[in-house]
Amino acid sequence: QVQLVESGGGLVQAGDSLRLSCAANGRTASSYAMGWFRQAPGKEREFVAVLSWSGGTTVYTDSVKGRFTISRDNAKNTVYLQMKSLKPEDTAVYYCALDTYIAVVRGTPRYWGQGTQVTVSS
């Protein structure tokens, strides 16, 4: 069984930066892709970014390209989401996910974190 524990959310102002972390417990995550999704109030959960297990492949949704960076530390079984130039429309609950690359990209990973709230004020 895998448990994903997110941290790093909070309330920031537009233009600020924030870094989210997600630690995988229970088994090694180094052979799996890890990604981030978010869900804004009244909206469906959407894909944000994914990073392959090797770290060699990254994909971002268009709205965060150039502002967000996903990275991982396999020794710590942890994935990060560095968010810069935050906008009010980035306000959402952010979830990390773990599974095969295809499963994460398709939005159907087996393992999800509990979510961490990010609120960006204007």
- The dihedral through the CA atoms of 23, 87, 56, 33 has a sign that is positive
Residue 54: its pLDDT value, please?
A: 81
Q: Which residues of the chain have pLDDT under 50?
A: none
Which residues are CB-neighbours of 122 under 8 A, at least 6 positions away? 13, 14, 88
Q: What is the predicted pLDDT for the residue at 28?
A: 62
